A and B are shown apart, each in its own frame.
Chain A
Amino acid sequence: MSTIVLSITVLSITERGGSLGWASAAACIFATALGGVRWLRVAQREHYLPDSASRFALRWWGATTPNLPVALVALAGLALAARWPVTALAPAVVVALGPLGLGLKGRTSPLRWTRRLRTLAIVWAVLQGAVAAVGFLTGFAAVICCAGALAVPALVDMSCVLTAPIERRLADKYVKRATERLRRVNPKVVAITGSYGKTSTKGYVAHLLSGSMTVVASPASFNNRAGLARAVNEHLVDGTDVFVAEMGTYGRGEIAELCSWMKPDVAVITAIGPVHLERFKTEEKIVEAKSEILESAGCCVLVVDDPRLAALADRCDEAHGSGTKRVLRVSGLGPEPSVDVFVVEGPDGLEVRAHGEEIAGPVEVAARPGNVACAVAVALELGVSATEVAKRLGALPVAPHRLEAQMSPGGFVVLDDTYNSNPAGARAALAALAGAARDEGRRVVVTPGMVELGPRQREENERFAAQVAQSPADLVVIGRTNRRALTRGFGAAGSLVLVAHRDQAVAWVREQLGPGDAVLYENDVPDQYP
């Protein structure tokens, strides 16, 4: 036994590269620490999903110049380090400083040392320490520490996997408390999901109900398990009649789990679109995941403008017969015989009809008809009178950052659609831009393109840029994430400007545009995107 300990000790103090090897190993460990901060932040921004750091590392190192050649140099350094430990210094420098453009602390969304991040950082440090220990014990400290430094994103991801059960256990406590609170306050629960439009719809539902009942709506960013538990624990006041919950999902089973302790009385699916497609792979899987919300609800509201949701409505009817589950089909397009509530955009505003009767004449409000239709259906279902609905429709709260038109000090119109990340929304925004400028005015679209569209990202961005060129408008492309696709789609039609950051785009717009012109800021992506 003592011989083994002794031999390990002997091994551990030998480094094949000698003092240069020690120095290289130390440099790699230092670089690892810096790289750790960088990729931990990316993991935090990407909701600690277990492959986020690696995915973004590939995106940064693989797709952006000059990061790609630099990455190749680093890999070469690693390969040579087995023979000449001093070459490990090259990867060390690369890991410490790169990828170029991805800051250490973050520009748009800084690193926040929350309890969860601290836990993750500790687990990650233990993993990195284990890797380094292997290096020291085997006498290959330089090369193994170098490999460890290059593997930071992978080890960050591994830590996300390892901490997931811990986080779940911690959240259980709050979920249990929330379950108890829901039982005590006993509100009707309206659960809303959808690829987009759920936050707006939630606001509309709360607004339509709040004239005649006490309503609490979950705050915008509280749409997952931990968030909704917190919303209930901290916001669901005694005596609340209706709780309006926004439910988001990154995968199958998540919404079903939410509904197991927060049973919806009314469930709403606003729309299906290629959002988070990177995670879901196909839109069919998105439909499946979202449809979990319908399972235990007494009443389902579905926007049947999407044939997949129409099919879902039919499936609900078949599975449950007509007595047990009410299925309300709503539409933002037009009157179909089977539709219960429809809202159409007339010349003077939105026209609302429900169950064959006109609810409200033209209402001048900047809201998407489909979302309004959902909200009206929910309000009527929960017993709000048609006159009350009509009365409140005029003052629907339009959420900030959702296509708000403002007059800039420079005299041009600014359309802010920076909270958007889907093709349909972008198209609608482009249509709004056409009407915002004067006939002879200049139109400009500023965008980093759409993200999280998975395999369809390139195609969708190309298509959007082509639509911009046709509309016609000039295009300012921010960053590198979608630069190639947008440039290709835009073609040579109008003027194309490439900038690195949003600030530069804003400065360019201020300088170039004047009275009668209009600019559309379409989508905004945080700085973990190249």
Chain B
Amino acid sequence: MSTATSITAKVAVVFGGPSPEHDVSILTGLQAARELVRDGRETTGLYWSKTGAFHRVVPTLEALDFLEGVPRGAEELRLAAGPEGGFVAVSSRLGRSRPLAIDVVVNCCHGGPGEDGSLQGAFDLAGVSYTGPSMAGAALGMDKLAFAGVVAAAGLPALPRVLLEPETRETGFAGPYIVKPRFGGSSIGVEVVEDIATATARLAANPHLRNGAVLEPYRPDLFDLNVAVRTWPELSLSAIERPLRSEESSEILGYADKYVGGEGMASAPRELPATLAAPVEKAIAELARDLTARCALRGITRIDFLSDGEALFVNEINTVPGSLARYLWVDPAVSFIELLDAMIEEAAGRPTAHRSTVGADGSVLRSAGGIAAKLG
């Protein structure tokens, strides 16, 4: 199914980034890069450091090479915006040197600026084609409050979710509650609290909640159901996964459940495909398709639901999911390289930046007169 575009494309895999999920992103990035190299593609590793510097690295490095920071032999790059933008070596004189020849960047950055639209916006300005969500899609996916608003406005089923502020006293639903960082891609910073007073107290104490928090009812009777959606070559859904919690006592599916041990999300305990009642399965498929257009999804997105076996609630979307959700494509089976190929083709064939200057034809300038006169 690989076509000429994806096979001949010069691909770069970007991973890392100033995010709590920096380390997990390295795992995802190294997996993707290794897969592309194994298939004989021209591949560049782009490591984005915790402090925000880009580096060209060998695509076949191991996770341990990043243990102390920027790996040996890495070459620092700068991302330049503008018509001749792209990744430029820092050692060469800016402006004189040409950017690296890269056709498509495979975005493997989880959380933080790699998944919230920042990197996407920078790529758009630099004229770099990339996989995964556009700036708008990423920003919406990362903002739990805005996403909940979109879901609620469409009348899709979801648990209530409200903004938590220091002066919040009443939510309209009963406790216990889950407090989540408003912007954040993982379960880092998530807490279960008994009452609103505790929740507001955590706002000051928990550094992850500093940039805003949302409050939801805590429903221990619900379990997670995940499905991945891809938008190229056509909209298709993966098998549905039911992640398993490592211990009965753990209140929410934690960061450690997902990522600590093994190769990231791909090795977490799960039931796949999940055994589900037919109506639930059908509802998930319908909701996933609905959300794809509604939330401007692109690339591979993991949509997380909550369910008690009958009722179903949309929980959140991960627009750059761990391991790019490759492990979910079991029925029908889609190989990792096939998934990557489709994303690369989509990156080239479905641009993210749509600029228009229609209307800026000079007529306003001609009739403007002096600027000083306008200031009056």
Contacts and interface: CB of A to CB of B under 8 A. Distances in A.
B18 interface: yes
B207 interface: yes
Contact of B207 (A114, A181, A212): A212
Interface residues on B, range: 10 to 19
Nearest to B73: A115
Contact of A181 (B51, B72, B205, B206): B51
B70 A234 contact: yes
Given A237-B18, A237-B50, A238-B51, A212 B205 contact: yes
Given A233-B51, A235-B50, A237-B18, A214 B207 contact: yes
Interface string A199-239: 00000000000111110000101100000001101111110
B69 interface: yes
Contacts of B69: 219, 230-231, 234-235
Q: Is the interface of B mostly helix, strand, loop or mixed?
A: loop
Interface in B27-61: 49-53
Contacts of A114: 72
A241 interface: yes
Interface in B202-220: 205-207
A265 B205 CA distance: 22
B75 to A, nearest CB: 13
Contacts of A213: 207
A212 B189 CA distance: 11
A452 interface: no
B68 interface: yes
A250 to B, nearest CB: 21
A388 interface: yes
Contacts of B18: 237-238
A16 B207 CA distance: 78
Contacts, number: 38
B205 A388 contact: yes
A219 B72 CA distance: 16
A230 B53 CA distance: 13
Interface in B169-208: 205-207
Contacts of A234: 49-51, 53, 69-70
Contacts of A237: 18, 50-51
Interface centre among A210, A233, A237 (most CB of B within 10 A): A237
Given A233-B51, A237-B18, A238-B51, A212 B68 contact: no
Nearest to B55: A234
Interface string B125-153: 00000000000000000000000000000
Contact of B206 (A211, A235, A238): A211
B205 A211 contact: yes
B205 A236 contact: no
Contacts of B50: 234-237
A235 B72 CA distance: 15
Contact of A241 (B72, B206, B207): B207
A238 B207 contact: no
B207 A219 contact: no
Nearest to B67: A219
Interface of B: 18, 49-53, 68-70, 72, 205-207
Given A212-B207, A219-B69, A237-B18, 5 more contacts: A230-B69, A234-B69, A237-B51, A238-B52, A241-B207
28 contacts: A114-B72, A181-B51, A210-B207, A211-B205, A211-B206, A211-B207, A212-B207, A214-B207, A221-B68, A230-B69, A231-B69, A233-B51, A234-B49, A234-B50, A234-B51, A234-B53, A234-B69, A234-B70, A235-B50, A235-B69, A236-B50, A236-B51, A237-B18, A237-B50, A238-B18, A238-B52, A241-B207, A388-B205
